[in-house]
C-alpha cells in the first residue's frame, strides 16, 4: 500500500503539466485503503467489484458503475474491498470549467460538478450516478487511450489527454442530463432549483414560488432542503444573496445601500445585521479589509 501511495503522488506531480491524470487502482484482495486527502479534485468511477467508501461524515457502499466527485480537501478512504477496481481522474475543477464550452451550461454539469459538492454526503451518495455497462465500456476505451497518451512523448499528448477527459465529462454530464433522471431524481430537481435561486436571488421569492419551480409542495421542498443541505430554503437564499453582495463589495465602489437592494434586501439596516452575522464584520469593515488585503505589497 505504501508503494502504491508513493506511485500516486508521482502521478500527482505530473498534474500541472498534463492538466488531468488517469490513475487506475486495483484492490484484488480483501483490504482497506489508507485514509487520505488531496489538494485537487477527483472523479472516481468504479470499474468492477465492490466495497465501502469512507468519508468524514459516513461510510457508503459502492459497486460497479458508481461515479462520484471527491472535492479538493476532502478526506476519504476505502474498506471492505472485494475485487474493487476503480479509475481515478485527478484534476483542478476551477481550471477546467472554461475548457468545457457549452457543456458547462448543461443540467448534468450543474448537478455533477457544481451543486453536487454542496450537498450533504449522505444525500449525495444516495443519489450518485451509476453508469450502465455500455457507458462503462466507452469509459474503458477512454481510460486505455489516456494511459497510452500519458506514457508517450508524442507531440500533442497533453492536448489529446485533455480531449479524452472532456469526452469522459460529456458521458457523465449527458447521463445526468437524461430526461428520465432530470424528471425523477431528487438531486436533479434540487440542482435545477439552486441554479434558479442563484439566477433570481434579487427577486422577491416566496417559498411557494420555489416549490412550484420543481413541482413540489412547500413541506416537501423544506424536507428536501434539510435532507440535502442541512438548512431551509429561506436561509439558503439569504446565503446566496449575502455572498453575491460580498462579491460586489469587493469588486466595486457602489454604495452599500445600493448593493443591498440589488441583491434582494429591501432594508439596508437588516442587510447589515445579516451580513455581520454571516461574515463576522459589517459590510463597511468587510470592504475595507478586502481592499487592504488585495493591495500589492
Average pLDDT in the chain: 86
**Closest by Cα among 106, 237, 125 to 187:** 125
| Local confidence band at 115 (pLDDT 50, 70, 90 cut-offs) | confident
Global confidence as pTM: 0.78
What pLDDT score does 221 carry? 93
Residue 182, pLDDT > 60, answer no
Q: What whole-number distance in Å separates Cα of residue 47 and Cα of residue 89? A: 13
Per residue in 57-79, pLDDT (tens digit) is 889 999 999 999 998 888 898 98
**Between these two residues, 62 and 183, which has the higher pLDDT value?**
62
Phi and psi at residue 82, to the nearest 5°: -130, 100
Sign of CA dihedral 130, 133, 136, 138: negative
Q: What whole-number distance in Å separates Cα of residue 174 and Cα of residue 230? A: 28
Q: What whole-number distance in Å separates Cα of residue 20 and Cα of residue 112? A: 17
What pLDDT score does 236 carry? 94
Q: Which domains does the chain have, with CATH numbers?
A: 2-182 (2.60.120.280), 200-297 (1.10.10.60)
Residue 1, pLDDT > 70, answer no
Q: What is the DSSP letter of 36?
A: B
| Local confidence band at 32 (pLDDT 50, 70, 90 cut-offs) | low
Q: Helix (H, G, I), strand (E, B), or coil: what is residue 100?
A: coil
Q: Helix (H, G, I), strand (E, B), or coil: what is residue 97?
A: helix
Mean pLDDT of 20-42: 80
- 292 grid coordinates: 487592504
Amino acid at each position: 500500500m505504501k508503494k502504491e501511495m508513493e506511485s500516486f503522488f508521482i502521478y500527482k506531480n505530473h498534474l500541472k503539466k498534463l492538466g488531468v491524470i488517469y490513475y487506475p487502482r486495483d484492490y484484488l484482495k480483501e483490504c482497506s485503503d489508507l485514509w487520505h486527502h488531496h489538494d485537487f479534485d477527483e472523479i472516481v468511477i468504479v470499474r468492477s467489484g465492490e466495497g465501502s467508501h469512507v468519508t468524514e461524515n459516513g461510510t457508503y457502499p459502492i459497486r460497479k458503475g458508481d461515479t462520484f466527485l471527491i472535492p479538493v480537501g476532502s478526506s476519504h478512504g476505502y474498506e471492505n474491498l472485494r475485487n474493487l477496481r476503480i479509475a481515478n481522474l485527478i484534476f483542478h475543477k476551477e481550471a477546467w470549467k472554461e475548457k468545457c464550452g457549452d457543456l458547462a451550461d448543461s443540467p448534468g454539469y450543474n448537478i455533477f460538478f457544481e451543486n453536487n459538492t454542496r450537498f450533504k454526503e449522505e444525500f449525495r451518495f444516495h443519489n450518485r450516478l451509476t453508469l450502465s455497462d455500455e457507458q462503462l465500456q466507452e469509459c474503458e476505451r477512454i481510460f486505455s487511450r489516456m494511459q497510452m497518451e500519458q506514457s508517450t512523448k508524442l507531440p500533442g499528448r497533453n492536448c489529446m489527454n485533455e480531449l479524452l477527459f472532456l469526452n469522459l465529462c460529456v458521458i457523465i454530464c449527458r447521463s445526468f442530463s437524461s430526461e428520465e433522471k432530470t424528471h425523477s431524481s431528487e438531486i436533479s430537481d434540487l440542482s435545477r432549483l439552486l441554479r434558479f435561486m442563484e439566477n433570481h436571488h434579487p427577486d422577491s421569492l416566496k417559498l411557494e414560488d420555489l416549490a412550484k419551480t420543481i413541482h413540489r409542495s412547500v413541506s416537501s421542498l423544506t424536507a428536501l432542503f434539510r435532507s440535502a443541505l442541512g438548512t431551509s430554503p429561506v436561509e439558503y437564499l439569504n446565503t446566496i444573496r449575502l455572498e453575491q453582495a460580498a462579491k460586489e463589495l469587493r469588486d466595486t465602489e457602489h454604495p452599500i445601500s445600493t448593493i443591498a437592494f440589488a441583491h434582494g434586501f429591501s432594508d439596508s439596516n437588516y442587510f447589515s445585521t445579516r451580513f455581520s452575522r454571516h461574515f463576522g464584520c459589517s459590510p463597511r469593515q468587510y470592504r475595507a479589509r478586502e481592499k487592504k488585503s488585495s493591495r500589492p505589497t
